[in-house]
Amino acid sequence: MSRIAHLNQRYAASRAVARAGVEIVVVGDPAGARFDAAVRRLVLAVRDDGSGPWDDLVGASKALRWRLLTQPQPMEFNQGLDQLIGEVARLARRLEGAIAEQPILDELQLSAVALAQFDEGTVVGAAVLDSCLEAGAHESVVVAASNMAKAGLESWLQAHGTLVLTAGELDADLFGRDRTYVVGPPRFYRSSLVTAPATDYVCFILPAWFGDRSVARSAIAEYAEGAIRVPTRVFAIGDTSAPQQSVPADSESEDAYLPQPVWGSREPLDREPSAEEVLARKILLSGNLAMWLDDGERIRSLDLQQPPGERVTYTDVPAVREGSYLLLRRGTTERGVMYQAALAELGEQAESVGAAQNAWKQLLVQRLQRNGYRQVAKDLRAVGVKRADRARAWTDPNLIRPHSDQDFETLLTWLGIPVQPTFAYASRLRKMLYKVSAEIGKQLEGAVSATDLTELETVGHLGLSVAADGFRGILATRVLAISPYSSVVSRHDARVPFEDRSAQWLE
């Protein structure tokens, strides 16, 4: 199908869904409703206690609830479900006596174990399969909430001929498939799933115990004239009555019961970073890892949407998002290794270049220590440095020089340093860095091309074999969460992955 024909098809689908609306099928799920109620009571019982010994239990319970919502396939294709059920039961037993409401722990354990009795899958899974078979498995596409959910659903539904995709993959030609069944509540998906649908029919299938059935709208829909507002039609299947032990009246919004990262207590930013410190956000990574990401310009990444040979790239630091794939080296930063490699490329001139770099950076550090970051940035703006806000970042030994020639020349003059030969030295060193970076990029690209990336998409992290000295132990890992606030950390700790289990329930 040509691009124009494909675009016309999408417009026709958008018109059809805008007129007919989307269907929301809520399926009675007594076992899931019982467990959901137990999770809600647990969260309410401990919500005012802060961080404590039950954090793991709450995290595991939320993760199990999430899997019920997004991966309703039979146990044979859902090993993670069985593992989570066992983990919830184990943690509940371990916490006996930790909270006053022992019946809550008992009910949580019993309701979790009861979920394992349905070897043929949940009633929601049965509704998904029945819907596909009724409409025609080869005419249907099932949309999963994540790559991990896709892998599980695909292992189950591919035998029936049903295509399983994530929402981001719906731009592909669907080869005549005209019905989309979305697993999970509408709020888990972007508004474009219904405002720019891939088929003429869109249906969300979810358990009745999940109360929020609102369909996401574009952020500008409220203000736009003629904005698309897709109507919904709700249908109920099975026993949708509430469990005997109902959820307390003061139950919180759904957000409180979804898997969430653990950021710990926030320390107040009552001081500026020293010369050996940086402001950085904590990033939680797949594989029980984390990293402090500073305000550098870019970071090596992996774009799985690109064709082979073009997947290794750089991402601007502000553009790093949940779901991004980063290429990291355990134990140290890639920047430090490349800087030393670039310096070595200069041969006999390396000592002079290194001394010149150290000289202007030390003078900038002294100005920052004496006058403070805000005053230095103000003074630099006054003399014409456009990116004066980067003054603190320029002190990083591994950041060679400001990107703008004019900014660098003005900075050197402001520091009282003759522009030459420092400018020429730094520019040559940067050229060598680009050369080293390109060579490493080629090797990384070769390693990626020779690797089956299926594991990366499903598991979230994967080791790569690179032959270059200093670049062994490269890890591709998915960003799971980004801290909403910055912290002051040691410069040597920035961009170095370390063990951290704060995201264990997000995967």
Is residue 294 within 8 Å of 278, Cβ to Cβ? yes
pLDDT band at 404 (very low <50, low <70, confident <90, very high): very high
The count of C-alpha atoms lying within 13 angstroms of the C-alpha of 300, restricted to the half-sphere facing its C-beta, is 23
Mean pLDDT of 286-313: 87
Let me know: does 425 contact 352? Beta carbons within 8 Å: yes
pLDDT tens digits, 422-443? 999 999 999 998 888 888 888 8
Cα distance between residue 142 and residue 164, in whole Å: 5
**Residue found under tokens 């989307």:** 22
Asked if pLDDT for residue 99 goes beyond 80, the answer is no
Q: Which of 171-175, 205-209, 400-404 has the highest mean pLDDT?
A: 205-209
Which residues pair with residue 27 across a beta bridge? 207, 237
Q: In the chain, what percentage of residues exceed pLDDT 90? A: 37
Distance between CA atoms of residues 256 and 233, nearest Å = 27
**Position 120 confidence tier, pLDDT thresholds 50, 70, 90:** low
Range with the poorest average pLDDT among 4-18, 83-97, 246-260, 268-282: 246-260
C-alpha 140/C-alpha 201 separation (Å) is 10
Stretch 454-481: mean pLDDT, rounded?
Answer: 78
Return the pLDDT at 107: 93
Phi first, then psi: give them for residue 76, nearest 5 degrees.
Answer: -60, -30
Who's near 96: CB < 8 A, 6+ residues apart?
Answer: 102, 105
Q: pLDDT band for 118, please (50, 70, 90 cuts).
A: low
Domain extent listing, the chain: 7-28+122-237, 30-120, 265-507
Tokens at residue 261, please?
Answer: 């990262």
Q: Select the more confidently predicted residue: 364 or 333.
A: 364
Q: What is the spatial distance between Cα 165 and Cα 199, in angstroms, rounded to a whole number?
A: 13
Segment 112-141 mean pLDDT = 86
Tell how many helices (H) and how many strands (E) occur in the chain. Answer: 14, 14
pLDDT at 274: 78
Give 232-269 pLDDT, tens digit per residue.
899 999 888 776 665 655 556 777 778 888 776 677 77
The neighbour count for residue 405, using CB atoms within 10 Å, is 11
Q: What is the dihedral of CA 109, 114, 115, 121, to 10 degrees?
A: 170
- The residue whose two tokens read 């969300």 is 204
Give the dihedral of Cα atoms 54, 60, 62, 68; nearest 10 deg: -150
129: helix, strand or coil = helix
Q: Which residue has the higher pLDDT, 16 or 200?
A: 200
Encoded amino acid at 486, one letter: S
Give dist(CA 243, CA 220) in Å, integer. 39
Sorting pLDDT into bands at 50, 70 and 90, what band is 460? confident
Token couple for 85? 């059920």
- Answering whether pTM is above 0.85, one says no
Contacts of 473 (CB under 8 A, 6+ apart): 329, 330, 331, 463
pLDDT value at position 266? 72
Better-scored residue on pLDDT, 309 or 326: 326
**Closest C-alpha to 128, from 83, 151, 160:** 160
Candidates 150, 177, 183; CA nearest to 161 is 177
* Mean of all residue pLDDT scores within the chain: 85
Question: Does domain 7-28+122-237 bear CATH number 3.40.50?
Answer: yes
Q: Tally the residues of the chain.
A: 507
What are the backbone dihedrals phi and psi of residue 100, each rounded to the nearest 5 degrees, phi first? -70, -30
- Measured at the alpha carbon of residue 33, what is the angle toward residues 32 and 34, in degrees to the nearest 5? 90
Per-residue pLDDT tens for 347-371?
Answer: 889 999 999 999 999 999 999 989 9
**Residue of 262 and 45 predicted with greater confidence:** 45
Residue 63: other Cβ atoms inside 10 A:
21
